[in-house]
Structure 1
Amino acid sequence: MAITGWEMADLVREVCLDAGAGPLMLGGALPGYRGFAAAISVGATFPYVIQGVVDPGQWEAGRGTINPGGRLVRVPHASSAGGEAVDFVAGEKHVGLALHADWVARVEGHGHGIEAIEGLAAAIAAGPAGGALTKVDDANVRLTLGGEAATALLTPASISVSWSGQLAVARGGTGAASLTGYVKGNGAAAMSASATIPASDISGLGSMAAQNASAVAIGGGTAVLSAFSLTPASGPAHAAVSAVNGQSAALSLGTGGVEMSRVERMASANSGGNAGSDFALRRMDDGGAALGTAIAISRASGAISCSASSAPVLSAARTGSNFNCCFAAQTSAGTLYFGNADGTRFAIGPNSNLAVSPYLTASATSFAIGASVETSFASGGRPLTDNGLAWGTAAYRWSTIYAASGTINTSDARAKCDVGAADAALIEAWGAVEWQRYRFVEAVAEKGEDARWHMGLVAQQVRDAIDQQLGTGAALRWGLVCHDSWEAVPAQDGVPARAAGDRWGLRYDECFALEAVWQRRAIARLEARLALLEGESGHAGG
């Protein structure tokens, strides 16, 4: 027999433009057909047929379901891929709800109408045995069961049932005249107020607030709540998340079903001495993947640590014109460390701690202050150790030092040895040194012709004058000539690269001293010649 219009009305067909061998996204009903959502209940399994339009050679038939995302999850029974899931190309294809083959066979083999079923008409006319339905009004009917006194009044509008006499329940009964306070039974035992409600019966239970909290237990699965509140009438409120030893217990905080943050009792097992079960506050990216542990607290020691691929920032500030927040390390071994990706580091703590700190080394320790920040001191400053640190380096120099008076250099006799007169050869070499005017290359590059002129010496000329008189390399044996060099530093962790280089310099105070010695010698020679000339003339002048 042909398929009637009644069967055609229930057929379903949707277009699909998705691709691949996995679940396919459906794109809506074709003209004249219904969509799957209108014909198939949630979670139902149904037969389907997929026919390619862009590629007619691709087809697949099987059983499937529609997942919460609206995709067809496929289990193929036959296909153009030899029974396997077809890797459909992108483009139009039609997905239809197929008829069961056994249903078609039964319909085709049915040879008579419903009126031909033997005895059907008589059974309908006789009605149900031992009972009778009596119309009370347009909204209610009365059912008399077995001719006994027990009757039930059915009220569809309010879904209420009332009866007279005692109600017996098959497979267990309450023996009660009323079901007040009773919920659904499990069908195998008498109903009771403490009966467990199976998951299949949860729908329609109502607001959790209307239930007895001590009788509610969720034993598995996921409870989805729009809000959760603990508000006791009196006394403290307590919420607990507990897990077995060695497993984490966590409270997840998310957005739109995606985890953003997590408060966690870590999975480290308790091992005695208050060790294990440490606390962690973790953070996730927009997709819910872990970014790192923002804060971890040791249960045993209370030590707090922050670690991540990008350095965390800890700030404490009071709004207003002043800051009065405090971080205190109140132990003899307490030290505060600060560090940046450019390699700068700063620490405050006992000198004994700084000397052995794994974070601070003589080759990598620095304290950087931003260009827009001015540092002020209300008292004097000093190095941690005497005569062991330089102010600046050959590669990183101060441009200018402003002072109310000159520097005081140590000249204590107790700090010197091998004291003696200046070498005559060195004094002689100094006579070849020329005082010159010059301008700095960097100043000319920055200011052009506005760059100012300076007077002084050129280190390489001083070096060459001394080496020519005393031999190559002799100048560097004297502290007045300085040569410093540095190795190349590659860029890493935000620290800019620095090329290798060197620089010549002079200690001008020693240059002035040698200049004074040379001038004293020159003056002494002039005075001696003058005395000689005056003696030859026979008078002392005048």
Structure 2
Amino acid sequence: MPQQLIELGALPGGIGGDTIRSANVKCNANFTELYRGQGALGTASLRNTGTSGAVVPLLNASNSFQGTQRFTVGATPTSLSWSAEFVMSSSIMNAGRVVFHQGATYGLCVSATSTGSTSGFFNFQVVDLASGALHRAPLTMNVDGTLIIGGHVNPIGDNTYNMGSASRRIKEVFAGSGIINTSDAREKTIVRPLSTQELAAARDLSKEIGAFKFLSALAEKGESARQHIGMTVQRAIEVMKSHNLDPFSYSFICYDAWEETTVTHPAEYAAIKIPAECDEAGNEIIPCSVENGELIKEACTEVLIRAGDRYAFRMDELLAFIAAGFEARLSALEAG
């Protein structure tokens, strides 16, 4: 509702102005609008009222939003990257939650719980709409970025998606058993024996196995960095080429390159609220708006990932290749 102005009338006696009653009616209407903005939406007298034709339902234990609700602001907040937000807060543990659903059986419940001044977590759970019961352990996201999943993790497609990438590697994998790789004869060509050149390369690769430390671990831990066993891909490539073999035709040799990844941050300005303009009758002519004020922060480009490349092994296939070389040497000795 636009502000309702009291007509004062002509000087000196106010001829033509509002009566005492009509002036107080306008005062009440203006105060009602102010109290609506102060969070007085839960009173019956303000049920299903709003501005510019919007419908704002009564908000209490027995009512809910109906229809499409949109939350918008006039300009992007100076310290945030989004232009609108919906905030629900409560000092009671697990008291605030939002449920999304289509149909009348199950929905998605999103809740937040604080466990301290700088810690907390967010839960995503399936909720039974009839009983309100939460099903299964939740998908939990801690404020430190840890994601805890109370169930199986399956991709939407078979043999289609990766976990991590050459530039975004997973540091370590903790598992109760080994990785299961597809080795179904129905999905492979006939397994051919390795050639004399390949067996010779496998023999030479076994001689390259040694101990080393990662440079990043040395920088972090010094001499207490742990020893690792293996070889470098670059040396393996040299060995394969020395036997006239194309190293990149073998899947145990891996190489990936990536381009620089950046994100552009727009300039940030202080927000200046421009009040609505109304005619003499109090009808809104130009709605209120928000304009950019003083520049707070210049636009900038942030580099998320620098361009680079990396060599890697499929270690299980490399060891199988080397094992074939061992077998050939043992067979030759036994045939002696």
Which residue, out of 186, 209, 220, partners 1:435? 209
Counterpart residue type for residue 386 of structure 1: D
Which residue, out of 465, 469, 490, partners 2:262? 490
Structure 1 residue 379: Cα displacement: 1.6
Structure 1 residue 378: Cα displacement: 2.2
Q: Distance in 2 between matches of 1:319 and 1:476?
A: 60
Which residue, out of 67, 73, 76, partners 1:309? 76
Q: Which residue of 2 aligns with 1:199?
A: 10
Distance of aligned partners of 1:229 and 1:526 in 2 relative to their CA distance in 1, 3 Å threshold: closer
Q: Note if 1:384 corresponds to 2:191.
A: no
Which residue, out of 396, 399, 405, partners 2:168? 396
Which residue, out of 79, 100, 124, partners 1:328? 100
In structure 2, stretches of 5+ residues that fail to align are 1-6, 34-43, 57-65, 109-123, 125-140, 266-300
Distance of aligned partners of 1:428 and 1:445 in 2 relative to their CA distance in 1, 3 Å threshold: same
Q: Determine if contact 2:260/2:303 at 8 Å carries over to the other structure.
A: no
Q: Distance in 2 between matches of 1:385 and 1:327?
A: 28
Q: Distance in 1 between matches of 2:8 and 2:219?
A: 87
Which runs of structure 2 are paired with 1:257-276 in the superposition (5 Å)?
264-265=51-52
Counterpart residue type for residue 327 of structure 2: R
Which runs of structure 2 are paired with 1:223-242 in the superposition (5 Å)?
228=31
Which residue, out of 190, 202, 224, partners 1:450? 224
Structure 1 residue 501: Cα displacement: 0.6
SS of the equivalent of 2:333 reads helix
Higher RCO (C-alpha under 8 Å, 6+ residues apart): 2
Q: Which residue of 1 aligns with 2:325?
A: 518
Q: Determine if contact 1:431/1:518 at 8 Å carries over to the other structure.
A: yes
Aligned length: 233
Q: Determine if contact 2:203/2:326 at 8 Å carries over to the other structure.
A: no
Structure 1 residue 229: Cα displacement: 6.4
CA deviation digits over 1:196-216, x for unaligned, max 9?
Answer: 99433249x9xx8xx4x3xx3
SS of the equivalent of 1:455 reads strand
CA deviation digits over 1:245-275, x for unaligned, max 9?
Answer: xxxxxxxxxxxxxxxxxx741xxxxxxxxxx
TM-score scaled by length of structure 1: 0.37
Q: Note if 1:463 corresponds to 2:237.
A: yes
Q: Determine if contact 1:491/1:498 at 8 Å carries over to the other structure.
A: no
Q: Distance in 2 between matches of 1:454 and 1:397?
A: 18
- Relative to its length, the structure with more strand (as a share) is 2
Distance of aligned partners of 1:513 and 1:323 in 2 relative to their CA distance in 1, 3 Å threshold: farther
Distance of aligned partners of 1:318 and 1:237 in 2 relative to their CA distance in 1, 3 Å threshold: closer
Distance of aligned partners of 1:487 and 1:197 in 2 relative to their CA distance in 1, 3 Å threshold: closer
Distance of aligned partners of 1:463 and 1:327 in 2 relative to their CA distance in 1, 3 Å threshold: same
Structure 1 residue 444: Cα displacement: 0.8
TM-score scaled by length of structure 2: 0.58
Structure 1 residue 413: Cα displacement: 1.1
Which residue, out of 287, 306, 309, partners 1:502? 309
Q: Note if 1:420 corresponds to 2:197.
A: no
Q: Which residue of 1 aligns with 2:118?
A: none
- Identity %, equivalent residues: 24
Structure 1 residue 526: Cα displacement: 0.8
Q: Distance in 2 between matches of 1:508 and 1:326?
A: 46
Q: Determine if contact 1:318/1:325 at 8 Å carries over to the other structure.
A: no
Q: Determine if contact 2:202/2:324 at 8 Å carries over to the other structure.
A: no
Q: Which residue of 2 aligns with 1:94?
A: none
Q: Distance in 2 between matches of 1:455 and 1:198?
A: 94
Larger Rg: 1
Which residue, out of 465, 470, 477, partners 2:249? 477
CA deviation digits over 1:434-466, x for unaligned, max 9?
Answer: 101110011111111221111112111111111
SS of the equivalent of 1:327 reads strand
Q: Determine if contact 1:489/1:499 at 8 Å carries over to the other structure.
A: yes
Q: Distance in 2 between matches of 1:517 and 1:228?
A: 87
Distance of aligned partners of 1:199 and 1:229 in 2 relative to their CA distance in 1, 3 Å threshold: farther
Q: Distance in 1 between matches of 2:155 and 2:304?
A: 28
Q: Distance in 2 between matches of 1:481 and 1:197?
A: 87
